[in-house]
Amino acid sequence: MCRIHLFFRIFAPANHQTTIIMEQNVKSLIIIGSGPGGYKAAAYAASNGISVTVFEAHEAGGTCLNSGCIPTKALCHDAGLARLGVPTDFSVVRQRKDAIVAQLRNGVESLLAQPGITFVRERATIVDDHTVVAGDGTYTADRIIIATGSKAKLPPIPGINLPGVMTSTELLALTEVPRRLVIIGAGVIGLEFADVFAAMGAEVTVLEFMRECLPQMDSDIAKRLRKQLERKGIAFELGAQVKDITGSAPQLSVAYERKGKPLSTEADTVLVATGRAACVDDFGLEAIGVEVSRRGIVVEPHTMRIPGHDIYAIGDVNGLQMLAHAATFQGYRAVNDMLGRTDSIRLDVMPAAVFTQPEAAAVGPTEDQLKAEGAAYVCHKRFFRSNGKALAMGQTEGIVKLITDTDDRIIACHVLGPHAADIVQEVAALICCNATLAQLRDIVHIHPTLAEVLLEA
C-alpha cells in the first residue's frame, strides 16, 4: 500500500489538490496507451473517483520507459563514466539499463493495478465515442483518451530496410558496440546516441540535412554543442542529403550529397534518427471521422479534446509537443476538462533538454524566433567558466542565455553546460510565475551551485 501511495504523491500534480471540483458527470474513462500520458492520467482520474480502464498492446510504460527516454538516459550516464576513464563493459551497461527499465515498468504495473483502474493487455479499436473492442470483449465509458504515442519516422531512402539499418529501438537492443556507426539525423535522439556510442568506443559520423544540428533549439547553443561533440571525435556532415544505403552489415555504405558533391561513408550499423510520427493507424479513427493532420490527431489545444467528440488525444499522438512530460500534463488537462476543473498548467511553457555531455536545455522562444517575429527583447549571457561549482567539477564549457522582454519579465532561457536541464527547470518555474529579472536577482541561491550562473547573468 505504501508503494502505491508514493506513486500518487509523485504523479498527482500538487496544484490540483486545492482546486474546487464542479459537478462531475464523467464516471468512467477508457485510456488507450500506457505511456507517461496514459498511466499518469489514469492515476489522476482514479484519484478523483473516475473508473478507468487502460489498454496496452505492448509493454506498460510506453516508448519512453521501454525504448526511449529511460534506457537512453541510463546509457548517457554510463557514457559519462566511460569518458572519465571508468572501465566499461558493454554487457554490464546493457544489464544495468535493462534492470532500470524492468524496475520502473514494475512500478507502472503496480500503479495500474490499484483500485479504480483496470489494466487490459490488449490492442483496443475504437467503435464510437464511448466504445472500444479489445480481444474478445467490448468496453464502454463516458470518455476516451487516446495516448498511443509515436513511432520512428523512416524517410523514403533506398536501402532503409537493409539489415544493420535500424531505429533507436533496435539500437538499444544491441549486444555489442559497433565499430563504425553512421547516424542519419542530428536531432535529440541522434545526438544523444552519437555521444553515447562515441564514448563507448565507436567511430561515429552524423549526417544532417539541415545547416545545423538541433534545428528547434537556439542556433548558438546548437553550434556550441556540435563543436564540443566534434572535439570528442564525432564527425558531422551538415547539409547532407542521404541518397541511398547499400551493402550488408557490417559492410554498409551510405551515399549522400553535400553542396552538390556526391560522397559516401562506411558503417557497420546505421541509425535512422529522423524524427517521430504519431501512431494513428489501425485503431478506428477513420471510421468515426476523427481528423488527422500531418502532425497527428487534431485536438482543441486548451482541452486536448477532439472537436465534436467525447474523445481526447494526448502526447505524441496529437503532435503538439513530442515530449514525455508534455504528454503527462496534457493528460492532467484532459482529465480536468472532464471534471469541469480549471488549472494553472502552462502548456505554453514547456522545458526540454538534450542529455549529451554537456547537456543542452531550453524553455521559451529562441533568439532566432524572436528576431523573426520582430519582437523586442534583451539577452543576458554568462559563461560557466566563471562559476565556482563548474570549476570544481572540471566542467567549465558552457553558456547561459537568459532572455527578458522590455518589461524585464523573463521569457526564455537557453543553456549549454553541466546540469543544464536543472537550471532551465528553475527558470521554467519563474516564467510560470511571470517573474522579472529583478525578482530572480533577489532570490538567495546556495553557494557554490551551478544555478548561481543565473544570478551572474
**Phi, then psi, of 118 in degrees rounded to 5:** -115, 125
Cell numbers for 180: 563504425
Can you read off the three cell numbers belonging to residue 222? 546548437
Q: Is 25 helix (H, G, I), strand (E, B) or coil?
A: coil
Q: Which of 336, 297, 300 is nearest to 315 (CA)?
A: 297
- Phi, psi at 420, each rounded to 5°: -60, -40
Active-site residue (options: 5, 58, 302, 447): 447
Residue 122 near residue 55 (C-beta atoms within 8 A): yes
**Lookup: cell for 316:** 505524441
- The dihedral built from the CA positions of residue 144, 148, 153 and 154, taken in this order, carries a sign that is negative
Instruction: Give 403: exposed, middle or buried? Use CB within 10 Å, 0-12, 13-18, 19+.
Output: buried
How many CB atoms sit inside 10 A of residue 396's CB? 16
Q: How many CB atoms lie within 10 A of CB 1?
A: 6
Q: What are phi and psi of 2, to 5 degrees?
A: -60, -35
Q: Which residue has the cell 494553472?
A: 344
The three grid cell numbers given for residue 415, joined into one nine-digit string:
543553456
- Terminus-to-terminus CA distance in the chain, angstroms? 46
Distance of CA 170 to the CA centre of its chain: 18
| Catalytic annotation present for 447 | yes
Annotated catalytic sites, by residue?
A: 447
